[in-house]
Structure 1
Amino acid sequence: MKVTPTAIADVLVIEPRVFGDSRGFFFESFNQRDFNAATGTDFSFVQDNHSRSAKGVLRGLHYQLGQPQGKLVRVVRGAVFDVAVDIRPASLTFGKWIGLELNEHDNRQLWVPPGLAHGFLVLSDSADFLYKTTDYYAPAQERCIVWNDPTLAINWPLDGTPTLSSKDSVGQAFKAAAL
């Protein structure tokens, strides 16, 4: 696997080795030993999630207090614009964000460590988004920063207003968010 750092410390783009021929392709989408060696971490994953969303759906920016989740995310069908926001107060990149396209063709994954907010916008007609988490979903701990926060100024590739869940539409401003 190839690991590429991003502008936010500890957020990494991971590209698996893909073996293809006329029959199709094969790649190892996850190997705990190789992941730990490549990222220099010792995280274990406890939960796998799969979401399917239509074009224009924006999910996020989600995070959990008390039991923050690290996420290893990828797209198996379609394409999304994936965003990680550094909400670690002691971080040199606190309040910064990175965004990149993840799609079914390049098989890239994004490692979003605990302590960051995460969200994505569906670019294709629909997208299947898979992610592993380092801690369990805790609804009482879940928080959301509003997607269009002016302080963060995320440059979402939108052609209008995104489709949001009711809880995402009432996300907190970054400056007012509990961190």
Structure 2
Amino acid sequence: MQTNSGNQETHFFVVRQLRPSEKDLFRDHLLRLDRESRTDRFNGGTKDDFLIAYADRSFSDGTSVIGVVNDGRVIGAAELHEKPEPDGEPTAEIAFSVENEWQHRGLGGLLFERLIQTAIGLGYRRLRVTTHSQNAAMKALARRFGAKLTFEFGETVGLIELEDAVHMALPIHARTDFWHQRDQH
């Protein structure tokens, strides 16, 4: 895929599942996040030691990590963590991070689309996103993909029913077919 930044520079990148052998790429991405991006991703400040341990843990606990890879570097990531719910509905907690210089270029939406495809492929029925109340970008992105947001214990929590959001992860021609068939039923 490619994106043009405001200065007409073209960037090529791939949005894909990261392999366990690429955990260092994910770790390095997390370490490059600026203070505000770390706060947005982890709902508070984080030290480098925490991020290193977090990256290791993510690839050992079954987390699915999707990365935006540009020139051999992960510049954005989406995570899918299994989160058992009391009602037994297969649910995953999701999280996103994009390095500061790559923000506001549509990478979050691309990551979200791939994340939905991955979640459906793994049999999840619902996605849950939690962020601090000041993270306007994450709240807007979650709403774009159908999240119903509430405020709980000082955090913004969103729930996405994948049956309702599946069309957003389809190619444009398939989205048209999806809505046409859905309207006929």
Q: TM-score by structure 1 length?
A: 0.26
Q: TM-score by structure 2 length?
A: 0.25
Q: Which has the higher helix share?
A: 2
Greater relative contact order (Cα < 8 A, sep 6+): 1
Q: Which has the higher strand share?
A: 1
